[in-house]
Amino acid sequence: MKIIFADLFSCLCLWVWYNVTVSFGLSLRSDLMVTGADCGDCKLDSMQNPPRERICMTEKKKVVVAMSGGVDSTLTARLLQEAGYDVHGASMMLFDGQDLSDAAKMADFLGIPHTVIDLRDIYKDIVLRYFVDSYQKGITPNPCVLCDFKVKFGVFYDRARAFFDCPYFATGHYARIIYDPDRGFYEVDKALDLKKDQSYMMYHLTQDQLAHIIFPLGRMHKIDTRKIAREKGLPVYNRPESQDICFLGQGETYVDYLEKHAPEVFRPGDIVDLDGRVLGHHQGIPRYTIGQRRGLGIASRHPLYVVALDGKKNQVIVGSNEDLFRQKLLADDLDFTDGQAPGETFRCEAKIRYGVSVHPAEVHIQRDGRARVVFDEPQRAITTGQSVVFYDGDRLIGGGTIVRPL
């Protein structure tokens, strides 16, 4: 009777845990949960497909969480604690004056070790230099994608895991990592909260990285994140969202930053139409973006929009709204989640910037390694320097950097 009662009690606990998990969308990576079939003195990590390692029954899996001190990273750490992980916290010091006190406070609140990894020189050499150089060339930079690729999931990923001797690395990104046993690959899927989905940023991640990264919030909606954080007593549950470009000060625009740190990029030049006729003058290409209408300072019978930026000639090129639509683009610096493209030519859904919808397209991989992307319908404001990212339904295929519209 005792055995039967114990089995029934275990089943009841499992049923309650499952329903709570599904109700709140708290599905951590099932392939990394500390459970498994008994195997001598150890457990076989049977939730991992395929199993990667054997873990002693008394040993917790170690994970380091990238902590900013906000609600997402703090809840990520708490969820992993509750799932049985040995959690550590690490924060990136990226620039002088950066305030990481909230991250340290939240680590202390959670009772986990915390360290700050100084990446200021690397961040300056990789991200800030790229940011300035891009505007000098008339390219609209994508610093967050580069930072995730080279810094957060690059140097920081390696150093933070090494510092705490942790095999796993977790962040508060809204995306899902799934192992597909039929294909034999890890994949990145869109978050359930499509308004917060950050899979667009993940096309550089390798199979080895995906095997060691955890995104606990990928099956949650932001509104639920705050609700659950409040229920768990996390003091940052109502903290405002952080801004996209982290090195900008409070209320500072990217133009303000460039005026302060790289005033040389603001070279006066001409505003011309598509036929090369001078219509006016500008005070620096960085003040303009593709698709911009306001602030051109040009009198015209018809609305004019910025349709191109020519860094070599230092020209802002304007045209009609119709001139902004292109059906083709060229991309380079390609990466694919599987390690290679699905084929020399493949169908997909693609998006040309973060926060926009995907659209049907066909991708042609050229002999020079670049991709020619042909959309079924013309796309508005295809912008040099931004990322074009490819999907198969929810599954991220890969992506690259837009060289130019065709």
C-alpha span between 167 and 214 (Å, rounded) = 11
Write down the H helix ranges in 64-110: 71-82, 101-110
CA atoms within 13 A on the CB side of 93: 12
Cis geometry, peptide bond prior to residue 50 (ω within 30 degrees of 0): yes
Q: What does the alpha-carbon distance between residue 109 and residue 233 come to, in Å, rounded to a whole number?
A: 10
The two tokens of residue 102 are 């909230």
Identify the sign of the CA torsion 362, 365, 371, 372: negative
Buried b (16+ CB within 10 A) or exposed e, 356-380: eebeebebebeeeebbebebeeebe
Helix extents (H) in 232-284: 254-261
Of 377, 374, 329, the residue nearest 357 (C-alpha): 377
In eight-state DSSP terms, residue 162 is H
Q: How far apart are the C-alpha atoms of 355 and 304, rounded to whole Å?
A: 24
**246 counts as catalytic:** yes
Quick one: which H or E segment has residue 222? helix 222-231
Single-letter code of the amino acid located at 172: G
50 CB-side CA count, 13 A: 4
Cα–Cα nearest to 271, from 312, 310, 318, 324 = 318
DSSP, res 192: S
The one catalytic residue in 11, 13, 144, 246 is 246
Catalytic residue among 144, 147, 166, 348: 147
- Has 11 been annotated as catalytic? no
Q: How far apart are alpha carbons 304 and 301 in whole angstroms?
A: 9
Look at residue 124 and give its three-state secondary structure: helix
Distances (CA, A) of 379 to 16, 352, 389, 396, 397: 48, 8, 14, 20, 20
Per this entry, what is the length of the chain? 406
Query: What does DSSP say about strands 62-66 and 86-93: parallel, antiparallel, or unpaired?
Result: parallel
Residues designated catalytic: 147, 246
